[in-house]
Amino acid sequence: MYIFYYILGTVALTDYLLLAFAALIGSTLAGVTGFGGAAILLPVLIHQFGARHAIPILTVAQLIGNGSRVYFHRKELDWKVIGHFAIAAVPGALIGGYVFSRVSNPILMRMMGGFLIATVAWRWTGFSKMTKMPLKGFVGVGLGFSFLSALVGSVGPFIVPFFLSYGLVKGAFISTEAMCTVVMHIFKLIAYKQGSVLTTHAVLIGLALGPLMVMGSWLGKKLIHRMPEKVFVVLVELTLVAAGLNFLIRG
């Protein structure tokens, strides 16, 4: 209860309700498609807290959301993929977090704007469709995308094709990708703390959004076999482009 009293004392009720709605919708979407949650929540966080604080808050909230998806699909985890990913994800996240703590706000805004638009372009090109992904390839994926995730908040749309091309589907894909993301987020938070960009305020906001992230993951699990993914994907892509253009202009 302390967390919610703190939030209501620092964030307007209407602003928190908007955050809560974005967290629930984003987490549900990620529970169905494996990506897109950050695309929904990040623009709202940046609007209310600025780029410097938005990414640490997002990381705390996503750590909870991804952790819940791991739990709901725990019987389908592919530990070989997780192990190869984690080997290089740890140094990648730490280095990326260090760089993030030293990049200016305007540059961060432009980086995130470009990243969000690039995710849509990536999905519409042939590059997102690849041949069979080798297990050892996840070492490189863990290193590169953990570094980028620490800078821009989330890289879900980019790493999804690698997991799919390896042969992971539905619950196995959702849980394994989420567990890899959990590893990234833990070490991103360590780096943010060392770089003095992870504040108590950011942690409490992220924790306050946590129950909604868990609820969204649960809803996603229920909907994964029923909901037409194309509808969600179109909405996410529109959100990505609109938010990306906004960040580029404001940056």
pTM of the model: 0.77
Top pLDDT among 109 and 97 is at 97
Each residue's pLDDT tens digit, 6-65: 565 666 677 778 888 888 888 887 777 666 677 778 888 888 888 788 889 999 999 998
Cβ pair 24, 215 in contact under 8 A: yes
For residue 53, the SS3 value is helix
Q: How far is CA 85 from CA 67, 176, 191, in A?
A: 16, 10, 18
Phi, psi of 226 (to 5 degrees): -120, -30
Query: Residue 232's domain spans which residues?
Result: 2-250
C-alpha dist (Å) from residue 232 to 14, 32, 167: 25, 9, 22
The number of domains in the chain is 1
